[in-house]
């Protein structure tokens, strides 16, 4: 072996190996062909900054052998992908993967960049804390095996996400930490047993003093070289990458204490052993870290709890309705259309529709609504909800990654993988503070060594390094955000993006869509007014609206049947979002361009608005129908305001938040609703571009705008608002673009979210103030020599725990 270490993985380079890596105009050594290929590939792809940003060495790379490559090819088979790959439109697929070999945030960045530069990879979302990756790709341009091969060639591993494996890994980590704590605790007791006589008697004979010293030394070795390893590993990563982290000052303090103890042992000094303080020091640090990790896991376990809701097995009815004999089947094998039996007390495994039976379902875990929901034939059921009363026979309509529960987990993953501005600032400040702290320790040691008490110089320096470690500062914001996200998810309020809670606490104006948001969205047609000579206005209107999901379309389609002649056809259908639908309809050989929608839109085809229609428009919401021969019919619409809207708006006004209504309905209808709800600001007959301009105008006035909507036409304005909320039952595109998604119809959830955001802001401020004040207070105390090392370890651990425990109050 030589003194050289591998540039990529840090392992020693064999003496007879010459595998250069070209980097920044020079050459670096590699230990094997795998590391050389991976490193050169990273650098040649323009990702060389990985090596300056990483905080730990990569694992030793190896070129995947043919056997491994063949195994990866199996992941391209449809039957293998059926268990974990979601199929999307336009030949796209999406999979959730577990990553292996991740040692620092730079590893996540590297994998993300490598994948995003692959042709055909559409989107990559990585969560460093959970080491999960959600990858979307175009199946026609790249295969899943190609993605897995690139990850492996980069020096990492990836496999389909398995909640059981994740849980097993977490349990293993927890067990290892408990063993380390136990070792440190036993070492602390044993070393104190040897040290206690030196505290009680100052005139111990040299041979007995030597025996006590050596006994304490032997007892502290397991604590130093096994229990404390996590701190040394972290500090070594920091040192190799020329940065300072939370473990750096702790490791320095441990090494200094151990060296001082060995020095005292060899010199046979009678002043102190150091070893009992070292063991106690490690014990307190590990205990604090374990409790902190447990609390953080409890604060951010919302997504994991949701994943575990779906059972592993179910009862399939392969011969239904001929026979109700059930067979045990794995949930991952269930396909759309399969018929399942869900017994009382069992969790529903898929989204579906009830075919037979009457029961009640507990949907509290998903919607926050604790009252059971009645399920009868034709009722929809949701994966992860509990069948409480009696057996149900259901047909699966959405399975695996297509279920509502899977969508919720995706949104939570995305929210937890994003860092708000406050968290980023706190991390940068903590990193700089750590470096300042280490530099401050040098003059402190010199002062005590030369001018104060040389015998206490080491203790003072060790105490300073430990007690001021800014762990609490780094935990202040993420712990609070994770706790609030989990709490709101349990109440049916899904935080889909990391910045949402931060911005919710700053909202000055709340903008609401009307239909489906403030009102129930279950529109009905009050009356049909004949305006022309068409014999089938209702049938034509239903034909035009047949393919739309808009609430108005549903109201038209629900009208009583008005049959058209058998010889009719529809072509050239055009839907203008926010305005209406037009198409060419051929009835018995007579072709006309028909339009239905806002009267102004229909007027583009049918000409000027008739007086009778203008009169109806003054009275409320009206949808018009017409063709080239003129207006043929008008449909007046009725809708009910949601029960909690009035109370919600009153609470918003008490908080100083201004309310606004944006709607595509006519001015009379919108003005009537605004007046009844006490809303001063409104904009009627607003197309999507008008809604967008309205919100941007508010933002130019330095307003922080919350937008709540539900339809496709709300998607642009939801994306533009400072924080956006999609109500229950929203269109898919609205949910995807929203920062917050409500899982039930109760709009009082908005007030709950605002209050929780305000509480979160207070808790974050308390945590930051505490962490900052703590550091400013303990620095002079430590420099003055008033803090011993074991008290420093206890203080640092308690400061971090206090921050996390304070954040956990948000779960109540």
Long-range contacts of the stretch 421-425 (C-beta < 8 A, 24+):
421/499, 421/502, 422/477, 422/502, 422/764, 423/477, 423/478, 423/481
Count of Cβ atoms closer than 10 Å to residue 442 Cβ: 10
Q: Which residues on adjacent β-strands are paired with residue 22?
A: 27
Residues 792, 794, 796: CA angle, nearest 5 degrees: 70
Peptide bond into 487 cis (omega under 30): no
- Euclidean distance between CA atoms 107 and 237, whole angstroms: 13
Query: Quick one: CA torsion of 783, 787, 792, 795, rounded to 10 degrees?
Result: -110
Q: Which residues on adjacent β-strands are paired with residue 710?
A: none
Residues 30, 31, 34: CA angle, nearest 5 degrees: 80
Catalytic positions, written as ranges: 513
Residue found by looking up tokens 């151990």 in the block: 258
Query: Which pairing describes strands 658-662 and 509-513: parallel, antiparallel, or unpaired?
Result: parallel
The radius of gyration of the chain from alpha carbons, rounded to an integer in Å, stands at: 33
Q: Which residues on adjacent β-strands are paired with residue 392?
A: 342
Peptide bond into 321 cis (omega under 30): yes
Q: 161-173: string of b/e by CB count within 10 Å (b at 16+)?
A: beeeebeeeeeee
CA 504 to the chain's CA centroid: 17
Query: Quick one: CA torsion of 450, 454, 456, 462, rounded to 10 degrees?
Result: 60
Q: Which residues on adjacent β-strands are paired with residue 495?
A: 740
The HSE-up count of residue 210 (CA atoms within 13 Å, CB side) is: 6
- Euclidean distance between CA atoms 632 and 610, whole angstroms: 10
| Token pair of 50 as six digits | 């990985």
Q: What is the DSSP letter of 297?
A: H
C-alpha distance from residue 656 to each of 19, 507, 519, 659, 677 (Å)? 67, 9, 23, 10, 16
């Amino acid at each position: 072996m030589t003194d050289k270490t591998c540039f990529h993985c840090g392992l020693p380079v064999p003496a007879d190996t010459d595998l250069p890596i070209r980097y920044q105009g020079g050459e670096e050594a590699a230990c094997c062909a795998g590391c050389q290929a991976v490193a050169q590939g990273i650098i040649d792809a323009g990702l060389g900054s990985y090596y300056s940003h990483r905080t730990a060495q990569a694992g030793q790379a190896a070129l995947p052998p043919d056997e491994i490559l063949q195994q990866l090819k199996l992941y391209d088979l449809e039957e293998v992908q059926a268990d974990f790959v979601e199929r999307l439109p336009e030949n796209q697929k999406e999979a959730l993967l577990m990553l292996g070999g991740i040692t620092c945030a730079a590893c996540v960045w590297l994998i993300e960049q490598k994948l995003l530069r692959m042709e055909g990879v559409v989107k990559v979302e990585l969560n460093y804390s959970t080491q999960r990756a959600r990858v979307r790709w175009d199946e026609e341009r790249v295969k899943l095996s190609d993605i897995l091969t690139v990850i492996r060639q980069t020096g990492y591993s990836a496999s389909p996400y398995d909640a059981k494996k994740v849980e097993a890994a977490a349990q293993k980590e927890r067990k290892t930490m408990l063993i380390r704590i136990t070792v440190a605790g036993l070492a602390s007791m044993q070393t104190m047993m040897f040290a206690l006589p030196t505290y009680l008697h100052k005139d111990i004979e040299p041979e007995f003093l030597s025996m006590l010293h050596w006994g304490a030394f032997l007892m502290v070795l397991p604590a130093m070289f096994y229990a404390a390893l996590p701190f040394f590993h972290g500090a070594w990563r920091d040192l190799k990458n020329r940065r300072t982290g939370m473990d750096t000052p702790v490791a320095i303090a441990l090494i200094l204490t151990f060296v001082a103890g060995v020095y005292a042992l060899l010199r046979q000094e009678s002043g102190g052993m150091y070893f009992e303080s070292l063991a106690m020091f490690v014990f307190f640090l590990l205990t604090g870290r374990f409790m902190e990790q447990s609390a953080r896991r409890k604060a951010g376990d919302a997504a994991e709890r949701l994943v575990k809701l779906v059972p592993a097995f179910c009862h399939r009815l392969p011969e239904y309705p001929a026979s109700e004999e059930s067979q045990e089947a794995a949930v991952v094998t269930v396909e759309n259309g399969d018929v399942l039996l869900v017994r009382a007390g069992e969790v529903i495994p898929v989204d579906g529709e009830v075919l037979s039976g009457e029961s009640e379902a507990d949907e509290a875990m998903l919607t926050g609504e604790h009252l059971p929901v009645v399920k009868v034939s034709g009722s929809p059921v949701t994966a992860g909800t509990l069948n409480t009363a009696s057996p149900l026979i259901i047909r699966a309509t959405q399975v695996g990654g297509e279920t509502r529960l899977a969508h919720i987990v995706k949104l939570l993953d995305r929210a937890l993988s994003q860092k708000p501005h406050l968290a980023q600032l706190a991390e940068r400040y903590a990193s700089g503070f750590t470096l300042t702290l280490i530099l401050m320790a040098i003059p402190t040691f010199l002062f005590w060594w030369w001018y104060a008490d040389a015998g206490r110089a080491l203790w003072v320096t060790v105490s300073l390094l430990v007690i001021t470690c800014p762990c609490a500062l780094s935990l202040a914001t993420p712990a609070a955000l994770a706790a609030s996200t989990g709490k709101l998810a349990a109440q049916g309020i899904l935080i889909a993006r990391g910045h949402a809670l931060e911005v919710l606490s700053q909202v000055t104006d709340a903008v609401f869509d009307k239909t489906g948001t403030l009102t129930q969205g279950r529109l009905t047609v009050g009356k049909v007014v004949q305006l022309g000579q068409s014999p089938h206005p209702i049938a034509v209107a239903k034909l035009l609206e047949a393919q739309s999901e808009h609430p108005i379309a549903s109201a038209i389609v629900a009208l009583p049947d008005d049959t058209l002649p058998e010889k009719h056809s529809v072509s050239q259908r055009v839907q203008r979002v926010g305005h209406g639908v037009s198409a060419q309809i051929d009835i018995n050989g007579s072709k006309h361009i028909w339009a239905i929608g806002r009267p102004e839109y229909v007027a583009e085809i049918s000409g000027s608005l008739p007086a009778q229609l203008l009169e109806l428009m003054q009275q409320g919401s009206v949808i018009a129908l017409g063709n080239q021969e003129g207006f043929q019919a008008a449909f007046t619409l009725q809708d009910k305001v949601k029960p909690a809207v009035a109370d919600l708006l009153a609470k918003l006004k008490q908080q100083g938040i201004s309310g606004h209504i944006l709607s595509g309905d006519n001015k009379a209808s919108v003005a009537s609703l605004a007046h009844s709800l006490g809303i001063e600001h409104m904009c009627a007959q607003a197309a999507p571009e008008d809604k967008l301009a309205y919100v941007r105008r508010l933002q130019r006035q330095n307003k922080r705008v919350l937008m709540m909507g539900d339809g496709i036409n709300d998607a642009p304005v939801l994306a533009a608002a400072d924080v956006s909320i999609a109500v229950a039952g929203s269109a898919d595109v609205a949910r995807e673009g929203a920062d917050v998604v409500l899982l039930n119809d109760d709009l009082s959830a908005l007030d709950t979210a605002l209050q929780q955001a305000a509480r979160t802001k207070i808790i974050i401020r308390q945590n930051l103030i505490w962490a900052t004040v703590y550091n400013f207070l303990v620095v002079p105390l430590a420099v003055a020599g008033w803090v011993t090392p074991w008290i420093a370890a206890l203080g640092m651990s308690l400061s971090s725990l206090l921050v996390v425990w304070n954040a956990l109050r948000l779960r109540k």
